[in-house]
Amino acid sequence: MENYIQYVLDSSVFILKGSVLTLQLYFVTILFSIPLGIILALMKISKYRFLRIAIGFYTWVFRGTPLLLQLFFTYYGLAIFGINLPAFTAAALTFIINYSAYLTEIYRAGIESVDKGQYEASKALNMNYYQTMKRIILPQVVRRTIPPTCNEAITLVKDTALVVVIGMGDLLRSAKELFARDFAITPFAIAAVVYLLMTTVIVYFFRKLEIKYSIYE
């Protein structure tokens, strides 16, 4: 029993070392994809037809093709054209572009869900477009899009496991290495617990955010 406990502790330490890369990729993706998604959503509802078509094409492509395929293309496909990206850079770029496409549609729907009368009221108060978005529209959009954004944030935790296909040592790969060495299911159980803890923290964070912005409903 004592030996098994020691094995669990040693395995946990090894797997947690792998989770460092998972967390790095996760936070880089979140840091860039959320603001990019908001910007692209505003572009998609702009009065310029070219922008609407361009962003529509972008979301169509990256929401309609598998993330794994996009990862292969960024890491292996671009190398054919002489563009050799480090594994982490390729993964981060792919995840940011992919998740920004999903968030663009989420935020676009959120913006369009705001009653048109609020735009008219802001004009009556002599607010410009920037002031209207910052003070009236976007705070409501944040509140309304918290649940779907939370879902995307949880999915991202699990999707980071895909980086194993380009040789990156993430959380799941660490568990696989232990399984291959010891042929024991324990490493996968530990990995599952780590993933659950990460998603629990994310849900808690978004729940607090939802309560904070409930004032706008």
- pLDDT in single tens digits along all 217 residues of the chain: 767 788 888 888 888 888 888 899 999 999 999 999 999 999 999 888 999 999 999 999 999 999 999 999 999 999 888 899 999 999 999 999 999 999 999 999 998 888 888 877 788 888 887 888 878 888 888 888 999 999 999 999 989 988 888 877 778 888 888 888 888 899 999 999 999 999 999 999 998 888 877 755 5
Provide the 10 A C-beta neighbour count for residue 56. Answer: 14
Q: Residue 2: its pLDDT value, please?
A: 65
Please, what is the angle between helix 2-44 and helix 186-212, to 10°?
40
**Cα 198 to Cα 61, 106, 127, 181, 208, distances in angstroms:** 29, 23, 41, 26, 16
Q: Residue 211: its pLDDT value, please?
A: 82
**CATH class for domain 2-216?**
mainly alpha
Instruction: Give the predicted TM-score (pTM) of the model.
Output: 0.89
Contacts of 91 (CB under 8 A, 6+ apart): 25, 71, 74, 75, 163, 166, 168
The single-letter DSSP state of residue 100 is H
